[in-house]
Chains A and B, each alone.
Chain A
Amino acid sequence: MSKTADSSATGNYRVNHLARGRTLRGLGLATCLALLLGLPLLVNEYQQFVVNTMVIYALIAVGFNVVLGYLGQLAFANAAFFGVGAYATGLTMVHLALPLPLALLAAGAAGTVAGIAVALPALRVQGHYLAIFTLAFGELMRWVYVHADAVTFGPSGFNVPRPAALGLLGSPERGKYYLFLAVAIIAIGATVRLLRSRFGRAFVAVRNNERAAASLGVSVARAKIIAFGWSGFLVGVAGGLYALLNGRVTPDSFGLAQLLLNFAIVMIGGLGSVLGSILGAILLTGAPELLRNFAGIEEIVFSLLLIGVLFFMPKGIGGLIAARIPALREPLHRE
């Protein structure tokens, strides 16, 4: 008798607890949004530029995490998706004079195509084979940027036209900020939805044990194609924003140094944690601005950070948050 009473009491408590957690989370999100919207009033033009960079890297990190943290595949093609997106936006604006929204969609489409192109070998090979394939793919794309100079303007890159609409809010950096923020919130929100759906659960099933997932009726091939395609889409769009941010696209931006930065952000943020990725991007994006005066320092600092995370904090910031603040725990965080 007491047993049923107990369990229903616990049930009620849990329902209340969950509801309260949800309200708290809603309040938290609303506060964050208000702060983000008001932020441009507090910063100068240069600080705004750094914040804009952070927004882009948050999007990159979440996109990379879909493949690395949720699907659990070691792929080195992230810098390639990023570059493809930047070139797609820049080149469609230069050659075809596409308006900004369409040029950004082109970046997303190009990124998706690149993502699916990488997913196809991922259906056959895994682990280090996939890592090597994607490494080669990234370097091949850089070769294309340099050598297809009739279209891509070769090794020195090209200037991206500045859309007039971005200057409407007083300063171009501020205009970019609201655009980037809107894109990032929509894209990351959609990613959270995707990860909570049965597709996200399929990604994690593939990560944990591919054969077990297949034997339970999860279509491994579909999960991989969707994850890589979506990752390519997010990172491609981020590349498009990056082209706008700098007003210039060069092949050098999408090499191994870029890849290291992306890796460091995702690993420090925590595999399989969207919140961690965002925080990792905020933490690490400011650093290159401070470090760029010394040759090699950036590589040294990021690699030491990466080593430190691997030794002392293998779950990253996301793991710390999950352990301390239950309300922010993400269900699919990597164990």
Chain B
Amino acid sequence: MLAQLAISGIVVGSVYALVALGMTILFRATSIVNFGHGEFFMLGAFAIYVLKQGFGWSYPVAIAIAFGLLFLVGVLVERVLIRPLGSAPFLSFAMMTVAFSFLFKGLTRFFYGRDVSMLPPLLNGEPLDFGSVVLFPQDFLVIAGAGATMTIFFLFFEYTQVGKIVQAASQAPRGAALVGINVPAFHSAMWGVAALTGAVAALLIAPSTLVYPDMGGQMLVHAFAAMTLGGFGSLGGAVLGGLSLGIIENLMGGYVSSSLVEISAYLVIMLVLLVRPQGVFGEWRTSRV
């Protein structure tokens, strides 16, 4: 039972990790906390759903187009809503992300709110029995997909020229601009990438859940919990936090009470921020008067 719960925890946890990673990349690049990130996930799920079920296209085509669309959505959000705010205070940016999250939610509800939508699994097949652990092919796909995406991100940021430029643009925007890097373009691109990670997460998890307009809110809170647990703004922390959150959730549900699954993320956020705000794996920069 323990092994089964832990493995199932890693499966959902890797999706939390992916979404948290998308938020963290955006936060590091633009220092904006995106309260609308859950809606990127939701829009990703709906894009795949509409293309696959509505238009009847095959999965590879639907996925490719949905990913492209979501990248575009992210870029558009930055160009149309975020950039015009200029150097507004933190509160304005936070409010703007809240506003567009409700806008996307409202639009989706307006067009698709009455249907209960489902996506077929990407992989069919018999569940595999490993003695005490039973896994579905879709579970492997989730772990592999999330793992591959995260690995690509790490390699990109650590070992490529463009990745280094992105880091430079986020660490010292003015300095980067002075040496000729087009910082606003990178910010746009990072919004696109963040939205894209939402779509990847949606692709992996939506076939096991339903597709509905309010699915983003839950995911947002889970991603926040993962980031808080791992240390806000740390890429590795987001991944570790996401995996740990998935495991914690499943263990709470399995050993204590199934109704605790829904609130594990809330409890984790509140406990961590009260006891160790820098996160379990994070460091804190103190400032005193």
Contacts and interface: CB of A to CB of B under 8 A. Distances in A.
Interface of A: 68, 72, 74, 120-121, 124-125, 127-129, 131-133, 135-137, 139-140, 143, 147, 211, 214-215, 256, 260, 263, 267, 271, 294-304, 306-307, 310-311, 314
Contacts of B109: 295-296, 299
9 contacts: A140-B270, A143-B263, A256-B217, A260-B102, A295-B109, A295-B110, A296-B108, A299-B106, A299-B109
A298 B109 CA distance: 10
Interface in B64-97: 81, 84-85, 88, 90-92, 94-96
B122 to A, nearest CB: 29
- The CB with the most chain A CB atoms within 10 A, among B91, B103, B213, B228, is that of B91
B98 A263 contact: yes
B269 A303 contact: no
B113 interface: yes
Nearest to B106: A299
A214 B266 contact: no
B289 A143 contact: no
Contacts of A307: 81, 96, 99-100, 103
B285 interface: no
A68 B94 CA distance: 12
B105 interface: yes
For the residues of B in contact with A, the DSSP-based class is: helix
A306 B93 CA distance: 12
Given A121-B274, A214-B289, A314-B88, A132 B110 contact: no
A310 B95 contact: yes
For the residues of A in contact with B, the DSSP-based class is: helix
In order of increasing CB-CB distance, the 4 nearest A-B pairs are A299-B106, A296-B109, A296-B110, A300-B106
B95 A132 contact: no
B233 to A, nearest CB: 10
Contacts, number: 124
A124 B286 CA distance: 11
Contacts of B103: 299-300, 303-304, 307
Contacts of B40: none
Contacts of B107: 296, 300
Given A300-B106, A314-B92, A306 B266 contact: no
A178 B85 CA distance: 43
B16 interface: no
B98 A137 contact: no
Given A136-B221, A140-B263, A214-B289, A303 B270 contact: no
B289 A294 contact: no
Interface residues of B, number: 47
B106 A297 contact: yes
A306 B114 CA distance: 26
A207 B259 CA distance: 39
Contact of B266 (A136, A267, A294): A136
Contacts of A310: 85, 88, 92, 95-96, 99
B231 to A, nearest CB: 12
Interface in B230-266: 232, 259, 262-263, 265-266
Nearest to B80: A307
Given A74-B90, A121-B274, 17 more contacts: A129-B232, A129-B273, A131-B33, A132-B228, A133-B269, A135-B221, A136-B225, A136-B265, A136-B270, A296-B106, A296-B109, A296-B213, A299-B109, A303-B101, A304-B103, A310-B96, A314-B92
B35 interface: yes
B96 A300 contact: no
B266 A72 contact: no
Contacts of B35: 131
A131 B91 CA distance: 10
Nearest to B232: A129
B273 A132 contact: yes
Given A74-B90, A211-B289, A128 B33 contact: yes
A295 B90 contact: no
Contacts of A304: 103
Contact of B114 (A120, A133, A295): A295
Contact of B102 (A135, A211, A215, A302): A302
B266 A143 contact: yes
